[in-house]
Amino acid sequence: GEDVEQSLFLSVREGDSSVINCTYTDSSSTYLYWYKQEPGAGLQLLTYIFSNMDMKQDQRLTVLLNKKDKHLSLRIADTQTGDSAIYFCAESPAFYGNKLVFGAGTILRVKS
């Protein structure tokens, strides 16, 4: 089955690192994604990782993938107030075309 779970809320101080965690169920997912949604806006792709990778770094973002445990994490270094948003983890089950299955989203609040 398809199911993606995330913690619902994370609060950090400006300048600290944020780590958002996600677990997924479908091991056939070729790609796993992190999307960001700012208030009143649509979702925008932040980063993605190919399923045969363990880690991907993109400027302040680090994605870690533990395929054995089906665990994905997003680390944001030097978190800024502009990073406050909802972060969605998504998997792409291989046999469902391009269907993405999203987690419930993690609300990140950055305190100055």
Contacting positions for another protein (CB under 8 A): 30-31, 33, 37, 40-45, 48, 86, 88, 92, 96-102, 104-105, 107
In terms of CB distance, is 61 or 107 closer to another protein?
A: 107
Closest distance to another protein from the beta carbon of 73 (Å): 19
Measured from the CB of residue 2, what is the shortest distance to another protein in angstroms? 10
The radius of gyration computed from the CA coordinates of the chain, to the nearest angstrom, equals 13
Question: CA–CA separation, 30 vs 7, rounded Å?
Answer: 23
With respect to another protein, which residue has the nearer C-beta, 30 or 81?
A: 30
What is the smallest separation between the CB atom of 107 and another protein, expressed in angstroms? 8
| Pick 101 or 110: Cβ nearer another protein | 101
The sign of the dihedral angle between the CA atoms of 37, 97, 53, 104 is positive
Beta-carbon-side half-sphere exposure of residue 103 (alpha carbons within 13 Å): 31
| Other beta carbons less than 10 A from residue 89's beta carbon | 26
Q: Please answer whether residues 71 and 9 qualify as being in contact, where contact means their C-beta atoms are separated by less than 8 angstroms.
A: no
Nearest distance in Å: CB 23, another protein: 16
